[in-house]
A = this chain, B = another copy of it.
Amino acid sequence: MRQRSQAFSLLVLAAAAAVRAAEPGTLSVDDMKAAQVLRDRVAAGSRAATWVRELTDRAGPRLAGSPGDRAAVAVALEMLQSLGFANVRAEKVTVQVWSRTAESGEITVPVLQKLALAAIGGSIATPDGGIEAEVIGVRSFDELEAKKDTLRGRIVFYDVPTERTKDGSGYGKSVVYRGSGASRAAKYGASGVLVRSIGTDDNRLPHTGALDYAAGEPRIPAAALSIPDADLLAHLLARGGPVRVRFALSCGAQPDSESANVIGEVPGRDRPGEIVVLGAHLDSWDLGRGAIDDGAGCGIVIEAARQIAALPRHPRRTVRVVLFANEENGLAGGRAYAAAHAAELPRHVAALEADSGTGRPLGLSWNAGPSAAPLFGQIAGLLGVLDAAALTTGGEGGADISRMLTAGVPLIGLSQDESTYFDFHHTANDTFDKIVPKDLDRAAAAAAVAGWCLAETAQPIERVPTENRRLPW
């Protein structure tokens, strides 16, 4: 998953402070030089892809509570320990569990055509043998409302393409049909829902992801159609005449289980009790192997912290790698971290998340007090040679770290080129071969620079102003 708030864009072309004695919240000339060395070393060839490979080879799919999830916790602990991080530990997280065993579907009228589909995460199962009904296609919730009197006993097909964009905003527009489509249709008596995959590819590989059943509405089964299958269904509907589909989903909620946030640290040399979190999520959807979502983010933050630890001296503050549990299906890891560390959050000086895949870095989104702007300007200046100097403000950095917003922790998101991210996101195609090591190196370099700078300045950056601490979701 990857949630996005309404951040407004502001490109800052930074001018590095030309004075050796920096303001307390900014970087000195020596700091800038040290950060450049770090940046260049990571960008020239990191081991970020190696950590993704370990995770995807040795754990594979790792939906919260699954055997792969347990394997991932073990692999992550072993990796962080073997890389020499301090205070390596697994912090218990209770997670909700959902699993699929089988799914199938086909168009039955006007022609028998097998459909490539997958249960949307959280969906209830169909009755044995599945459901069969006439399909009503809609291209928006407005069209759903206009057709509300025709939906009883029908299967609603949400036919909304996802736009390919560099900043991932196309996903932000269409994902609501996956999340809310089932309950919106159930309200009018629909028996099931098919959703054009929230993705930008043309493969017969459906995109799963989570749905939210609204309280008070009947729960109906929901499946994502691969994009070529959505095209076929749309085309048959456009030809006119009734179109019927049968589909069967064997899936559902299981008893809660145990997972863990996996943590390792680079202790600060001066103020070890002040924390900069570098976060990503360890879990993944079940169809693929979680390489880009979010093995890539794990690789980025592990490598960034490893390279920070390898500097001649540690930064002032502690850099803490947190590989969060269960981002995809409930956000239990992010919630558990914020709860377990509530007393410590006032000493969390910043949290950064990497959860946008393998694309080259574009810059940072940041949400902090306004006086942090000069420091982010300096960081952007450092990232200019990576072509990653774009700054946006607002937002919550990433889903896992978002729960720290109410405590005022400054939140930073690593922005990456997401042009191809939604070709693979939440599909079986999310496998190691999709990783672009060179781009991952650059992303790790950007995360390393940001993490190091935030951990090194004489004074922490200004926290998120009280009026901005409300979560958008």
Contact = CB atoms under 8 A, between A and B. Distances in A.
User: Interface residue tally of chain A, by bracket?
Assistant: 35 or more
Contact of A116 (B112, B227, B235, B428): B428
A61 interface: yes
Given A111-B71, A205-B205, A431 B228 contact: yes
Interface stretch (A52-60, A331-339, A380-388): A52-60
Contact of A433 (B57, B202, B205, B434): B202
Contacts of A112: 60, 67-68
Interface string A97-117: 000000000000011111010
A231 interface: yes
Report how many copies the assembly holds. Answer: 2
B231 A429 contact: no
A289 interface: yes
Nearest to A53: B235
A228 B432 contact: yes
B228 A60 contact: no
Interface in A216-259: 227-228, 231-232, 235-236, 239
B57 A432 contact: no
A432 B204 contact: no
A115 B402 CA distance: 35
A270 to B, nearest CB: 41
A113 B60 contact: yes
A203 interface: yes
Nearest to A227: B433
B429 A111 contact: no
A113 B71 CA distance: 11
Contacts of A67: 112
Contacts of A113: 60, 289
B57 A235 contact: yes
Contacts of A116: 428
Given A57-B232, A232-B57, A202 B434 contact: yes
Nearest to A68: B112
Nearest to A287: B204
A231 B114 CA distance: 28
B205 A203 contact: yes
Contacts of A58: 110-111
Contacts of A227: 433
A429 B114 contact: no
A57 B111 contact: yes
A432 B229 CA distance: 10
A45 to B, nearest CB: 20
Contacts of A60: 111-114
A161 to B, nearest CB: 12
Contacts of A202: 429, 431, 433-434
B203 A429 contact: yes
A107 to B, nearest CB: 9
Contacts of A427: 204
Nearest to A205: B204
Nearest to A226: B428
Contacts of A289: 113, 232
A114 to B, nearest CB: 7
Contact of A429 (B57, B228, B232, B288): B228
Contact of A232 (B111, B231, B431): B431
B231 A432 contact: yes
Given A57-B239, A231-B432, 8 more contacts: A202-B429, A202-B434, A203-B205, A204-B428, A204-B429, A228-B433, A231-B433, A232-B289
A-B pairs with lowest CB-CB distance, top 3:
A204-B428, A228-B431, A60-B113
Interface of A: 53, 57-61, 67-68, 71, 110-114, 116, 202-205, 227-228, 231-232, 235-236, 239, 288-289, 427-429, 431-434
